[in-house]
Structure 1
Amino acid sequence: MTEKEKFLRTFHRAFAENDTGYIMDNITQDISWDIPGDRYVQGKEAFASALKEMKNEGKTKTEIEHVITHGKTAAVNGTVLYENGMSHAFCDIYVFSGFKDPKVKEITSYVVRINNRSR
């Protein structure tokens, strides 16, 4: 497992556990977060506000299926399960600030509500 893959798994765990400290320490000041069809967030303060709003969504489990990294970009996909029985599939596309001590500069999150599915 690459260092970037380990970081992304930890970053996603921080989202699931509402560890805003870890998340905020690992993003740039000019972070942008695009969730097409839902919202667009620009800047660290706006990102922190969006995280605070999401804190009460009742996530119970995040399952990561794949992490793909290449240079300054990466993708993570999986599912999120909620206390109310609802679930979403997601794919997050990341752009990092650079190669040495990179921070997350951009996130594009594609989210689709799903019913129980079998593989």
Structure 2
Amino acid sequence: MTAKENFLREFNRAFSENNISFIRAHVSEDIVWNMTGNRIIQGEEAFSAALETMKSEDKFDLEIKHIITHGKIACVHGAMHSSDKTTYAFCDIYVFSNFKDLKIKELTSFVIQIKTQ
């Protein structure tokens, strides 16, 4: 597994565990987060504020199905399972500041709640 793949696992684990300090430390000042179908967040301050409003006492079990990296672009596909059995499927597309830097400049998130039958 590459360093970038390991980093993306850690970054997604930080989301599932509400580790906001880790997430903040690994985004650029000009971060753009497109939460598809919901809103676009621009800048480190707005990004941090959004993370705080999303913070939960619940820790999610993270299931990563695929990580794809190429140059400064990457994609992570998986699911997050809450303690109340709610599941969210996600696919995140990352753009890093440059080829070797592990600072995220853009994040596009596709998230849907999976309905149980």
Tell me which interval the TM-score lies in, with the shorter structure as reference length.
over 0.9
List alignment gaps of at least 5 residues for structure 2. Answer: none
- Equivalence for 1:8: 8
Structure 1: segments with no counterpart, 5+ residues: none
The aligned counterpart of 1:60 is 60
Count of residue pairs brought into register by the alignment = 117
- Alignment check: 8 A CA contact 1:59 1:80 kept: no
CA displacement at 1:83 relative to structure 2: 2.7
Deviates more, 1:99-108 or 1:64-73: 99-108
Indicate conservation of the 8 Å contact 1:31/1:104, yes or no: yes
Q: CA deviation at 1:105?
A: 0.3
Query: Mean alpha-carbon deviation: is it higher for 32-41 or for 50-59?
Result: 50-59
Q: Deviations over 1:48-71 (max 9, x none)?
A: 111111112734211111000000
Alignment-derived partner of residue 41 in structure 1:
41
2:27 — aligned with what? 27
What is the identity, as a one-letter code, of the residue corresponding to 1:60? F
Q: TM-score, normalised by structure 2?
A: 0.92
CA contact (8 A) 2:78 2:91 kept: yes
Give the TM-score normalised by structure 1: 0.91
Q: What is the CA RMSD across the aligned residues, in angstroms?
A: 1.5
Q: Percent identity?
A: 51
Separation (CA, whole Å) in 2 of partners of 1:9 and 1:116: 26
